[in-house]
């Protein structure tokens, strides 16, 4: 059975969806560790309630980003994880981190990449006036939300949507997309060719 590490900075709602999917056997893996850069992240309490090992590693203790990433990489290597899922982990990963786990770090972004990368994607979508948006699960590379796309799900933007209402309507879609992508990974159906992801 596979091992998943989930990295969070906040409530980790996508982490909770992945944990639940593993518990019911939908994903052939277990979440073996949840790591946060913030001791007050609410998602840590959920992980502890599920008897999942938690680690808090404050990034402010590491002035150099690469030093922080090396420490995280060491922890994840010790746990022998197969996949790392970023679930609201509010830090850009350095090349040190990305190189240690090529095509084994997933992230979810609340927009249809390559549109609206970075923060406040829903606000960007509403202000731009797009008619559809969605979410993207992708592998992480050294760029900002620029890694190979695994899957995307689409949501219509309503004329009266705000960034808050759009975020709320998008969240269940994010949960479903992330769980599906993780399942595909552990089913051995995800293959990266150049920068394209082929699902068999």
Which positions are catalytic? Answer: 109
- Give the span between the Cα atoms of 81 and 83, in whole angstroms: 6
Q: Would you say 139 and 199 are in contact if contact means Cβ atoms under 8 Å apart? A: no
Q: Give the contacts of 109 (CB within 8 A, at least 6 positions apart).
A: 117, 121, 135, 136, 138, 145
103-140 core/surface letters (b: 16 or more CB in 10 A; e: else): bbbbbbbbbbbebbeeeebbebbbeeebeebbbbbbbb
Q: Would you say 198 and 191 are in contact if contact means Cβ atoms under 8 Å apart? A: yes
Q: Would you say 4 and 76 are in contact if contact means Cβ atoms under 8 Å apart? A: no
The owner of tokens 């394209």 is 196
Residue 6 bridge partners (DSSP): 34, 85
Residue 192 bridge partners (DSSP): 197
Structure tokens at 65: 């980003």
């Amino acid at each position: 059975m596979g091992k998943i590490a989930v990295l969070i900075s906040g409530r980790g709602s996508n982490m909770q969806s992945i944990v639940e999917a593993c518990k019911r056997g939908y994903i052939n893996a277990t979440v073996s560790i949840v790591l946060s850069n913030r001791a007050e992240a609410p998602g840590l309490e959920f992980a502890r309630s599920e008897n999942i090992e938690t680690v808090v590693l404050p990034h402010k203790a590491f002035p150099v980003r690469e030093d922080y990433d090396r420490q995280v990489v060491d922890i994840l290597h010790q746990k022998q994880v197969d996949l790392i899922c970023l679930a609201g982990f509010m830090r850009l990963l350095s090349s040190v981190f990305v190189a240690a786990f090529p095509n084994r770090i997933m992230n979810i972004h609340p927009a249809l990449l390559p549109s609206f990368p970075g923060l406040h994607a829903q606000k960007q979508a509403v202000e731009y006036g797009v008619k559809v948006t969605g979410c993207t699960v992708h592998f992480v590379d050294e760029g900002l939300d620029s890694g190979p796309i695994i899957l995307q799900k689409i949501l219509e933007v309503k004329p009266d949507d705000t960034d808050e209402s759009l975020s709320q309507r998008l969240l269940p879609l994010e949960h479903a997309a992330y769980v599906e992508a993780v399942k595909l990974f552990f089913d051995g159906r995800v293959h990266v060719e150049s920068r394209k992801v082929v699902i068999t």
